[in-house]
Amino acid sequence: MKSIYQILLIGSLLAGIAACENETKVCDQTLSTNLHINFKRDSAGIVRDTIMPKVTAFALGHDSIYKVQPLSNVFFQLSPVADTSRFYLKVDSTLTPDTLTFRYKRTTHFISAGCGFGTYFLLDTVIATRHTIDSVQINIKSVTTSNDTHLTLYFFNQ
């Protein structure tokens, strides 16, 4: 009988331990899903990833995301309240900047109890000026995680 009481006590401790995880207090996922863009350029007949020497980028009318820095990838946050976002992209200080226009559909997504809600995007159209950009390739239309490479920009050899 004594051992039964001991087991009852252990059970009450188990009940306490099981109750310790409060999922509304923890947000272990990123709230924003960024559009991931990769740079490529033709080099001696082979198209390969390239580092653009002085990248400056920002959404039109907003602060800089990147300011004169060498990059081979950029991540753009699309607007959660509009169906179009426009970005300025200059890949070298001596080159003419380009403008990228993204048109997309938005869907609200529940991330987790701790994080709340976020937005998923489905790319519809990408329009780019052709000063330094040779072509644009959409790899993945659905922007649900920043881990995927959604877009590849091919640059002219200058």
Partner 1 sequence: MFSVAATAQVKPAAAKTDIIHKKAPVDTTVAIAIPHKDSILLLPGGIRIGVDLSRIVSAIYYPYRKEITVVADARINADLYLAFEGGYANTPYSDSNYTYKGNGAFVTLGLDYNFLKRQYPSEKNMFYGGFRYGFSHFNYAVPSYTIKNPYWGDHLTSSIPKTNVNAHWIELMLGLKAEVFKNFFMGWNVRERFLINNVKTDAITPLVIPGYGNGGKRTVLDVQYTVSYVIPFYHVKERIAGTEVKKKKIPKR
Torsion-angle region of 90 (φ positive above 0: left; ψ -120 to 50: alpha; else: beta): beta
Pairing of strands 34-43, 151-155: parallel
Does 119 help bind partner 1 (rule: CB under 8 A)? yes
Least Cα distance to 121 among 96, 145, 98 occurs for 145
* Nearest distance in Å: CB 136, partner 1: 22
CB 5 within 8 A of CB 12: no
Q: Which stretch binds partner 1 (CB under 8 A): 44-52, 66-74, 118-126, 147-155?
A: 118-126
* Nearest distance in Å: CB 127, partner 1: 19
Residue 132, token pair as written in the block: 């330094």
Binding mask 19-58 for partner 1 (x = CB under 8 A): xxxxxx------xx--------------------------
Nearer to partner 1, 20 or 44 (CB): 20
Does 105 help bind partner 1 (rule: CB under 8 A)? no
Task: Enumerate binding residues for partner 1 (CB under 8 A).
Answer: 1, 4-5, 7-8, 11-12, 14-16, 18-24, 31-32, 59, 62-63, 65, 77, 79-82, 107-110, 112-113, 115-120
